Amino acid sequence: MYNQHGAMVAVKSRLVIFDSEGVIKMPDRLGVTINKFIMGEQLSIPHATGDFSGLLNELVVATKVIAREVNKAGLVDVLGKTGNTNIQGEEVKKLDEYANTAIIQKMDHTGYLCAMASEEEDGIIEIEDKHPQGGSYTLAFDPLDGSSNIDANVSIGTIFSIHRKISSAPKGTLADFLQRGSEQVGAGYVIYGSSTMLVYAAGQGGVHGFTLDPSIGEFLLSHPFIKIPERGKIYSVNEGNSHKWDDRIKGMVDYFKTDDKQTGRPYSSRYIGTLVSDFHRNLLYGGVFMYPGDADNPNGKLRLLYEAAPLAFICERAGGGSIADYEDILDIEPTTLHQRVPLYIGSKGDVDICRKFLKGEM
Ligand code: P6P
């Protein structure tokens, strides 16, 4: 149940943290702050130095800063465009830029990172010499996913992926980012929606959700040990692209739309247009999100390193599945920082059906 360093286990669905002196009973599972939870997980990792915990806790603060600004959107001049475009050729919104800067400025002097990568930055973000050097981790992130929805007050999010530094160079290099998703040491996302929620998984641990209580400024444990249903009843895809799909994709989407009570079909169509929000709903309710490659964009739209891979890490830890064409997302060897991949992610049973269509077996 626990080792000499302690551990955190679910006992009769209540969370207790064991430490070397004894048992710290949770007053109730809603009273657990994310910081305490992260420390609890660290207790169960014998060789943990505390750097990973420190990194996560600093990142949590950055997301609170972003949440504060997102929640003011519409009241102060943070809406609208900056007039710039990013490497993706997408218009950069003021909140995009704010979120990007908030994470970089919060994380660059912690000493935990060797480098960062952001959807908003062309190359990797070096840790300047004036800051502590020698960090053991990389942080790749999409600072504000779904930003095209900002002005319409539709939920948006931050996605992050953490790898261990593997290069021998003194500073982080591109090679430290181009690692398979299965090598991630942690990943997560924040949704700025009806409430602000942070979901993460680390190491071999489970998937846990925390909801921000604005009255105390703390993320409190609200969804411990999230598991995605084996099959869902929801499919999420932008059918406006269907004229560009090949027959495999058309057959796949038609399958989910076909009336067949025996196999729980038709599924309901739900599409928010913000990846983290569509993913999060399917994680909790079950279902499959699809962003296929098409005639115009054979590799689809979504990015591997800071969108598909971190969500795939979360999904697999929650018992779900995630594939690109028919290769597991977590097995893909990245070649470039901003590479795009087709994405099929969600309930294992539903993703297996996608895989069969992609292989021409259905
Ligand atoms: P489309 C948002 O711009 C985003 O990057 C993801 O959050 C979302 O899933 C996708 O693009 C939506 O793309 O082409 O359907 O508008």
Extended beta strands in 19-150, E state: 23-25, 81-85, 91-93, 113-118, 125-126, 137-145
Q: What angle do CA 275, 117, 59 make, to 5 degrees?
A: 75
pLDDT tens for 258-292 read 999 999 999 999 999 999 999 999 999 999 999 99
pLDDT exceeds 70 at position 24: no
* pLDDT for the residue numbered 56: 96
pLDDT exceeds 60 at position 2: no
pLDDT tens for 289-338 read 999 999 999 999 999 999 999 999 999 999 999 999 889 999 999 999 99
Burial of residue 171 (number of CB atoms within 10 Å: 0-12, 13-18, 19+): middle
* pLDDT for the residue numbered 147: 82
Per-residue tokens: 319: 């018992």
pLDDT tens for 149-159 read 888 889 999 99
The residue whose CB lies within 8 Å of the most ligand 1 atoms, and thus the one to mutate among 154, 301, 340, 341, is 301
* Ligand 1 centroid – CA 73 distance (Å): 20
- What single-letter DSSP state applies at residue 38? H
Q: Which of helix, strand or coil describes residue 28?
A: coil
Question: What whole-number percentage of the chain has pLDDT above 70?
Answer: 86
**What distance in Å separates the CA atoms of residue 281 and residue 292, rounded to the nearest whole number?**
19
**What distance in Å separates the CA atoms of residue 253 and residue 184, rounded to the nearest whole number?**
31
Highest mean pLDDT among 12-21, 23-32, 259-268: 259-268
Q: Which of helix, strand or coil describes residue 355?
A: helix
What is the arithmetic mean of pLDDT over 5-13? 47
* Ligand 1 centroid – CA 148 distance (Å): 8
- Using CA positions, which residue lies closest to atom 1 of ligand 1? 273
Per-residue tokens: 14: 């209540």
- Domain regions of the chain by residue span: 9-43, 51-223, 234-358
Q: Kindly report the CATH class assigned to 234-358.
A: alpha beta
* pLDDT for the residue numbered 82: 64
* Ligand 1 centroid – CA 276 distance (Å): 10
Question: What whole-number percentage of the chain has pLDDT above 90?
Answer: 75
* Ligand 1 centroid – CA 205 distance (Å): 29
Is residue 298 within 8 A of residue 340, CB to CB? The reply is no
- Using CA positions, which residue lies closest to atom 10 of ligand 1? 273
Q: What is the mean pLDDT of the chain?
A: 89
* pLDDT for the residue numbered 83: 65
- Using CA positions, which residue lies closest to atom 13 of ligand 1? 273
* pLDDT for the residue numbered 46: 78
- Using CA positions, which residue lies closest to atom 2 of ligand 1? 146
* Ligand 1 centroid – CA 307 distance (Å): 11
N residues, the chain: 362
pLDDT tens for 48-99 read 788 999 999 999 999 999 999 888 766 655 555 666 766 676 666 688 899 9
- Using CA positions, which residue lies closest to atom 15 of ligand 1? 238
Highest mean pLDDT among 147-161, 174-188, 193-207: 174-188
**Lowest-confidence pick of 31-35, 116-120, 247-251:** 31-35
More confident residue, 37 or 150: 37
What is the arithmetic mean of pLDDT over 136-140? 98
* Ligand 1 centroid – CA 296 distance (Å): 15
Atom of ligand 1 nearest to the CA of 145: 7
Fold of the 51-223 domain: Fructose-1,6-Bisphosphatase; Chain A, domain 1 (3.30.540)
Binned at pLDDT 50, 70 and 90, residue 11 comes out as very low
Q: Which residues line ligand 1 (CB under 6 A)?
A: 145-146, 148, 238, 273-275, 301
More confident residue, 22 or 342: 342
Write down the pTM of the prediction.
0.91
Nearest to 252 by CA among 264, 237, 271, 240: 237
- Using CA positions, which residue lies closest to atom 12 of ligand 1? 273
* pLDDT for the residue numbered 6: 43
